[in-house]
Amino acid sequence: MVDHAPFMQAAIEEARKGRAAGGIPIGSVLVLDGEIIGRGHNQRVQKGSTIRHAEMDCFEEAGRLPASTYQRSTLYSTLSPCDMCSGAVLLYGIPHVVVGENKTFQGPEDYVRSRGVNVEVLDDAECIAMMEEFIEAEPTLWNEDIGE
Amino acid sequence: MVDHAPFMQAAIEEARKGRAAGGIPIGSVLVLDGEIIGRGHNQRVQKGSTIRHAEMDCFEEAGRLPASTYQRSTLYSTLSPCDMCSGAVLLYGIPHVVVGENKTFQGPEDYVRSRGVNVEVLDDAECIAMMEEFIEAEPTLWNEDIGE
């Protein structure tokens, strides 16, 4: 059984890096055979990007990979992936998504499961606290990031 | 009633620009009140990008917009949007998607409709011919772009 803790911790480090740079504290890592092959964090503020959510930034940083690699990988994200990031998971056939928390925001987890993906939610207190601090401090920025 | 032809033609121009640069010929424009506010084309080859499908490149080029702008916009794409690009449409609450064709590839149109989006398919001969030429010439690249 895989120990999710070190990979979720790496995703949290990405999120904290983003927050320290004035950005939105969501981080993600892509893992293959126990090795991190991509890392990223939300870049809305830093790069003025509307598409570089943490998971997307992670996929972009991982670079062009064969389908067979995606299909054996696990994506870790500190927050429940939104519609866009969930769609990227489906496009590339990522079979397993480990989510830090879905209390402060919940993407289409049931739909993603219905498409055959194993979505695990850790309910991680550090992930929740990080988002609660951010949403209280920057509600307008947060709403922009989720299209509200 | 909106005439889709000039906007689809602008999306086709984007696609052709991409193909001329050695890329994948899929283009997209975002339209608000009869004006194009974003344009893009697939950048997998040109930027080595795994996330800049045409629609994503278009959203990125349009820049950070208020939710109220997305919610009155129409997205044009020469090809049926994949899971990722459909997810971006859902994230930002784009109410209307006009698709050039869905013969050479079909994304989750019924799911997107079930979420309240008006998805129109034009069955455009120029869009079909463009993709058929490309898929025959570059099958490996095409499969990479759709995660296969």
pLDDT digits (tens, 9 = 90+) for A76-99: 999 999 999 999 999 999 999 999
Is B87 in contact with A87 (Cβ distance < 8 A)?
yes
Strand order across the beta sheet in which B96-101 lies: B35-41, B27-32, B74-79, B96-101, B118-121
What is residue A33's three-state secondary structure?
A: coil
Chain A positions touching B91 (Cβ under 8 A) are 82-84, 146-147
Straight-line distance from the first to the last Cα atom of chain A, in angstroms, rounded to the nearest whole number: 39
- A30 CB-contact burial (10 Å; exposed 0-12 / middle 13-18 / buried 19+): buried
List domains and CATH numbers for chain B: 4-146 (3.40.140.10)
Over chain A, what is the mean pLDDT?
Answer: 97
Give A 59-118 residues with CB within 8 A of chain B.
Answer: 59-60, 62-67, 70, 82-88, 90-93, 108, 111
Nearest residue of chain A to residue B44 (CA atoms): A64
Residue B82: closest C-alpha in chain A = A91
- Among A50, A75, A97, the strongest candidate for a mutation testing the B interface, having the largest count of B CBs within 10 A, is A50
Length of chain A, please? 148
Among A1, A89, A95, A93, which residue's Cα sits nearest to residue A53? A89
SS3 of residue B145 by DSSP: helix
Residue A74 and residue A50 in contact, taking contact as beta carbons nearer than 8 Å: no
Q: What are A126's two structure tokens?
A: 């550090």
Whether the complex's predicted ipTM surpasses the cut of 0.85: yes
Higher-pLDDT residue of B2 and A71 is A71
Q: Amino acid letter at B34?
A: G
Closest CA of chain B from A44, distance in Å: 8
Beta bridge partners of A74: A31, A96
Strands B118-121 and B96-101: parallel
Q: Do B144 and A86 touch (CB under 8 A)?
A: no
This model's pTM is above 0.90 = yes
- Interface probe for B, chosen from A70, A72, A91 (most Cβ of B below 10 Å), is A91
CA dist B47 and B44 (Å) reads 6
Average pLDDT over residues B24-41: 98
Average pLDDT over every residue of B22-44:
98
Quick one: tokens of B10?
Answer: 């602008």
Which helix (DSSP H) or strand (DSSP E) does residue B32 occupy?
strand B27-32
Average pLDDT, chain B: 98
Phi-psi region of A15 (alpha: psi -120 to 50; beta: other; left: phi over 0): alpha
Evaluate the CA torsion angle B54, A40, A106, B37 in order and state its sign: negative
**Structure-token pair, residue A47:** 């790069």
**Could A87 and B92 be called an inter-chain contact, meaning their C-beta atoms sit closer than 8 Å?**
no
Backbone φ and ψ for A21, nearest 5 degrees, come out as: -90, 10
User: pLDDT confidence of B62, banded at 50, 70, 90?
Assistant: very high
Mean pLDDT of B104-117: 98
| DSSP codes joined into one string, B53-76 | -HHHHHHHHH-S--HHHHTT-EEE
The per-residue pLDDT for range A95-138, each reduced to its tens digit, is 999 999 999 999 999 999 999 999 999 999 999 999 999 999 99
